[in-house]
Amino acid sequence: MTNSETDKPIISPWLVLITVMVGTLLIGLDRTIVNLGLPGMISDFNITVSSAGWIATAYIISNAVFVPVFGKLGDKLGNRIIYLWSFVGFIVISVFAGLSWNLSSMIFFRVLQGLVGAAIYPTAMALIAKTFRNPQQRSQALGLWSASFAVSSVLGPLIGGPLIDNFSWRWLFYINLPVGIIGIFMTLWYLPHDKPVDKKTGFDYLGAGVLAVTLSSLVLVLEKGRDWGWLSIESIIFYIIMITSSIIFYNIEKKAKDPIVDLKLFKNKIFANVLLLSFITFGGMMGAMFLLPVFAQTYLGYNATQTGLLFIPMALSMFVAAPLGSYLSKKIPLKYLVSFGMAISAFGIYLFSGLDVKTTASELTIPLIIFAVGMGLSMAPMTAAATNSVPTNEVGVSSALLNLVRNIAGAVGIAFFSTILSNIIESKVLSIGQNAIINTTNPQVIQIVSALVILKAQIIAYGDVFLISSCIMATGVIVALFLRQPKTHVENSKEDLPLVIH
């Protein structure tokens, strides 16, 4: 089908959505899937576990630093051109990462991966917002995209496990090539040429630089604080750097003609509330989802592939619940729908508080499905509300900020729950040990009993951590009740305008 005036093929907006979802899934998977290959890298590169941690940390820091930068560049240069070249760069660098010959080369390529990958999320969200001009369909599209964003965080073991078991850790990077080529062709064919919404002002280089220092310090201490000690000299130094640079950044952005982060967005009560809810949601989700595979493999004897299979029902449930949440947002006030979804998610995580060594696969899968349904119902209208509450010329910056908050929330969640788990285990070992009576001096029996005490303490600790996680998620139920319904600016007729490929 063609447009009579331009003789150019008309493309459905839904093909645009599918196209950017390919990129979103690929970049999201890369955040988690590479961690599965760390044991192989440790062996091949002859490095320590502590050194290997920098492979993940380098990516996370680079990604966090450049998300706001690309959000702004998308508004200035056009989101399609940024999305396309970032996607191409990500695929090429992935191949080089797979060819890494030592730790230094791997860290270098992971920094580059994080840099170019940072452009995908804000530009994808902005392209969806600009493409779906009908508010109701935009909400549905953003809901599906949000689901793919969340699902990508939990599918790493499903895809990475078989690749490592049958090939090697290098295929965690090589697999990006065939998938990426498909995504590039889809981008060239289906993504419309959007016009930059801001060409007049310059780029806020000073603000971007100071923000980079702030985010680098924050992510670094979140990633390494547990190893260093949260009150160690190293951690305190980065706390000071982070606080100082945050104050400097605030003063720069207040005076900047075109700030990289428009501080006025935080005065938008709808957007600010969505940011807070996103922080709670993703912090709780990433913390819980980080610990669940560890429990399944450590105490239930699952391998990486079997653990990944547990998450398939969750992924499918989220994809079903996301459009349902968008549909219900037309019938139910935003605050009640999001609050209800958060309550369901909190209940799903609460069910994990009863984990033990006899837990079956269905007892893991059912809570995951419940959790996913709640996430889908709440995330779709939340994302749409954030986008609809800001003017078109700030969609790129706002989407970058939303994704930055989600990424930081995930890092905070993992750091927080990992630390809480260690502290609870230590406390439980002491508590159980004080109440244990051993009527023998046989060293073998004492050793066995000590091991059982530690095992029991660890299992109880996991249950306690999931209970804490559910309580944190439950705070979102209350926060959501303060959400306001955004006044959507309708930019055209009730239907989406056809997209013409140039």
Element at 160 (helix H, strand E): helix 156-166
311: its two tokens:
């998450």
Question: What pLDDT sits at residue 122?
Answer: 85
Phi then psi for residue 67, to 5 deg, are -60, -50
The burial class, CB within 10 Å (0-12 / 13-18 / 19+), for 433 is middle
**Gyration radius (Cα) of the chain, Å:** 23
Does 118 have pLDDT greater than 80? Answer: yes
- 3-state SS class at 385: helix
CA distance 378 to 265: 21
In this structure, the number of other CB atoms found within 10 A of the CB of residue 338 comes to 31
Q: DSSP string spanning 234-281? A: HHHHHHHHHHHHHHHHHHHHHH-SS-SS-GGGGG-HHHHHHHHHHHHH
266: its two tokens:
């935080």
Give the single-character DSSP code of 118: T
Question: What pLDDT sits at residue 129?
Answer: 81
Mean pLDDT confidence for 120-133: 85
The answer to whether 94 and 177 are in contact (CB under 8 A) is yes
The answer to whether 172 and 37 are in contact (CB under 8 A) is yes
**Which of 20-24, 338-342, 495-499 shows the lowest per-residue confidence on average (mean pLDDT)?**
495-499
- 3-state SS class at 175: coil
How distant, in Å, are the alpha carbons of 310, 334, 352, 356, 389 from that of 460? 22, 37, 11, 8, 44
Per-residue burial over 277-288, b = 16 or more CB atoms within 10 Å of its CB, e = otherwise: bbbbbbbbbbbb
CA distance 424 to 111: 34
Does 351 have pLDDT greater than 50? Answer: yes
- Reported as a pLDDT band with limits 50, 70 and 90, residue 2 is very low
- Report the DSSP beta bridge partners of residue 307: none
CA distance 499 to 5: 13
pTM to 2 decimal places:
0.78
Closest CA to 203 of 69, 88, 312: 69
Element at 499 (helix H, strand E): strand 499-500
All residues at 6 or more sequence positions from 492 whose CB lies less than 8 Å from its CB, including other chains: 133, 134
All residues at 6 or more sequence positions from 42 whose CB lies less than 8 Å from its CB, including other chains: 48, 49, 52
In this structure, the number of other CB atoms found within 10 A of the CB of residue 224 comes to 19
Question: What pLDDT sits at residue 252?
Answer: 92
CA distance 423 to 335: 36
Phi then psi for residue 396, to 5 deg, are -65, -45
Question: What pLDDT sits at residue 174?
Answer: 93
70: its two tokens:
């690309």
CA distance 339 to 347: 12
Question: What pLDDT sits at residue 451?
Answer: 67
Average pLDDT of the residues of the chain = 82
> Considering all CA atoms of the chain, what is the largest pairwise distance in Å, rounded to the nearest integer?
93
Question: What pLDDT sits at residue 493?
Answer: 37
281: its two tokens:
């949601």
Does 496 have pLDDT greater than 80? Answer: no
How distant, in Å, are the alpha carbons of 64, 96, 264, 497 from that of 397? 14, 31, 12, 24
Mean pLDDT confidence for 415-427: 84
The answer to whether 217 and 65 are in contact (CB under 8 A) is no
The burial class, CB within 10 Å (0-12 / 13-18 / 19+), for 466 is buried
Q: 428: phi > 0 → left, psi -120 to 50 → alpha, else beta; which?
A: alpha
Cα–chain center distance at 309: 20
Residue with tokens 């459905």: 12
- Reported as a pLDDT band with limits 50, 70 and 90, residue 167 is confident
The answer to whether 205 and 73 are in contact (CB under 8 A) is no
- Reported as a pLDDT band with limits 50, 70 and 90, residue 437 is low
Q: DSSP string spanning 56-75? A: HHHHHHHHHHHHHHHHHHHH
Mean pLDDT confidence for 88-110: 93
Mean pLDDT confidence for 77-104: 92
Residue with tokens 């999001």: 338
Domains along the chain? 12-203+258-500 (1.20.1250.20), 204-257 (no CATH)
pLDDT tens track for 35-85: 778 888 988 999 877 678 788 778 888 888 888 888 888 878 888 999 999
Question: What pLDDT sits at residue 404?
Answer: 82
